[in-house]
Structure 1
């Protein structure tokens, strides 16, 4: 791999980091996309209105 292709690869990686970092920052500022939506592992237990969805006797 020569110096030009290495610099292009590093530039592309930095561009990806910048784009995803910006998207993450905007998402943190805006908040949840729907009312009541919470991160995974936050509440524990069953979501409201989701009782009885345990897949029954599937094997």
Structure 2
């Protein structure tokens, strides 16, 4: 595959557009995006916070 470069995981066969110019800002954005998606998955699986403690219902 000439001309292809590693990058964000494809979505619907297309690579995600990078939000910022520069590696550091894109890395920070991608880490935040992954963390938010993981948290959403956990919340949808029943993660709750009671009395300052996280628990899966």
TM-score normalised according to structure 1 size: 0.45
Kindly indicate which of the two structures has a greater share of residues assigned to strand: 2
Kindly indicate which of the two structures has a greater share of residues assigned to helix: 1
TM-score normalised according to structure 2 size: 0.47
State the structure with bigger RCO (CA 8 A, min sep 6), 1 or 2.
2
